[in-house]
Chains A and B, each alone.
Chain A
Amino acid sequence: MTATSSRRKLLLMGRSGSGKSSMRSIIFSNYSAYDTRRLGATMDVEHSNLRFLGNMTLNLWDCAGQDAFMETYFTTQKDHIFRMVEVLIHVFDVESEEISKDVETFALCLRQLSDYSPNAKIFVLIHKIDLVQPGKREEVYSSMMQALRETSKVYGFPIQGYATSIWDESLYKAWSSIVCELIPNMNAFESHLQHFAKISEAQEAILFEKTTFLVISHASYKTADMDPKRFEKISNIIKTYKQSCSKMRSQFQSLQLRGPGCTIIIENLTSNMFIMVILPRLEVQRKESHINAGDEDIVSLNIKAARKTFERLEMDKAR
Chain B
Amino acid sequence: MSPANPTVFIMGLRRSGKSSIRKVVFYDMQPLDTLYIESTSTTTSVQLESFTDITFQELPGQLNMFEPTPETDRLFQEVDALIYVIDAQDEYLHALANLQGILEYVAEHRPGLQVEVFIHKVDGLSDDFRLDTRRDIEQRVNDELIDADIENQVSLSFHLTSIFDHSIYEALSLVIQKLTPELPQLENMLNLLCQHSGIDKAFLFDVRSKMYLATDSSPVDIQTYEVCSDFIDVAVDLDNLYDSSGPEAGRPMLCTSILNNGVVLYLRQMIRGLSLVYLMRRESAQKLALVEYNTDLVAEGLEKLYAAKRKSRIPAAS
Contacts of A259 in B (CB 8 A): 238-239, 242-243, 253, 255
Nearest neighbor of B252 in chain A, beta-carbon distance:
A260
Report the bound CA distance from A301 to B232 in whole Å. 27
- The size class of the interface chain B forms with chain A is 20 to 34
**B311 interfacial contact with A, CB 8 Å:** no
A19 nearest CB across to chain B (Å): 17
**A253 interfacial contact with B, CB 8 Å:** yes
Q: A237-255: which residues lie under 8 A (CB-CB) from chain B? A: 237-238, 240-241, 244-245, 247-255
B296 nearest CB across to chain A (Å): 14
Contacts of A225 in B (CB 8 A): 244
Residue of A226, A237, A247, A251 near B234 (CB, 8 A) is A237
Report the bound CA distance from A282 to B254 in whole Å. 14
**A281 interfacial contact with B, CB 8 Å:** yes
B165 nearest CB across to chain A (Å): 11
**A262 interfacial contact with B, CB 8 Å:** yes
The answer to whether B223 touches A258, judged by C-beta atoms less than 8 angstroms apart, is: no
Residue of A230, A248, A255 near B241 (CB, 8 A) is A230
Nearest neighbor of A257 in chain B, beta-carbon distance:
B255
Residue of B245, B260, B261 near A261 (CB, 8 A) is B245
Residue of A227, A240, A248, A254 near B263 (CB, 8 A) is A248
Nearest neighbor of A276 in chain B, beta-carbon distance:
B238
Contacts of B223 in A (CB 8 A): 247-248
The answer to whether A252 touches B245, judged by C-beta atoms less than 8 angstroms apart, is: no
Contacts of A226 in B (CB 8 A): 241-242, 244
A241-B231 CB under 8 A given contacts A227-B241, A247-B223: yes
The answer to whether A251 touches B259, judged by C-beta atoms less than 8 angstroms apart, is: yes
The answer to whether B252 touches A238, judged by C-beta atoms less than 8 angstroms apart, is: no
Q: B290-304: which residues lie under 8 A (CB-CB) from chain A? A: none
Contacts of A244 in B (CB 8 A): 226-227, 230-231
The answer to whether B250 touches A282, judged by C-beta atoms less than 8 angstroms apart, is: yes
The answer to whether B257 touches A252, judged by C-beta atoms less than 8 angstroms apart, is: yes
A257-B254 CB under 8 A given contacts A248-B259, A252-B259, A262-B243: yes
**A264 interfacial contact with B, CB 8 Å:** yes
A258 nearest CB across to chain B (Å): 4
A260-B242 CB under 8 A given contacts A233-B237, A253-B258, A255-B234: no
Fill in one digit per residue for A212-225: 1 if any B CB lies within 8 Å of its CB, else 0.
00000000000001
A260-B251 CB under 8 A given contacts A250-B261, A253-B258, A255-B257: yes
The answer to whether B254 touches A251, judged by C-beta atoms less than 8 angstroms apart, is: no
Q: A183-242: which residues lie under 8 A (CB-CB) from chain B? A: 203, 225-227, 230, 233-234, 237-238, 240-241
A237 nearest CB across to chain B (Å): 5
Contacts of B227 in A (CB 8 A): 244-245, 247-248
Nearest neighbor of A249 in chain B, beta-carbon distance:
B261
Contacts of B77 in A (CB 8 A): none
Contacts of A257 in B (CB 8 A): 235, 238-239, 253-255
**B247 interfacial contact with A, CB 8 Å:** yes
The answer to whether B238 touches A253, judged by C-beta atoms less than 8 angstroms apart, is: no
The answer to whether B257 touches A256, judged by C-beta atoms less than 8 angstroms apart, is: yes
8 A-B pairs whose Cβ atoms sit less than 8 Å apart in the complex:
A203-B242, A230-B242, A240-B230, A241-B230, A248-B227, A248-B261, A248-B263, A255-B257
The 5 closest A-B pairs by CB, nearest first: A261-B243, A244-B230, A259-B239, A250-B259, A250-B261
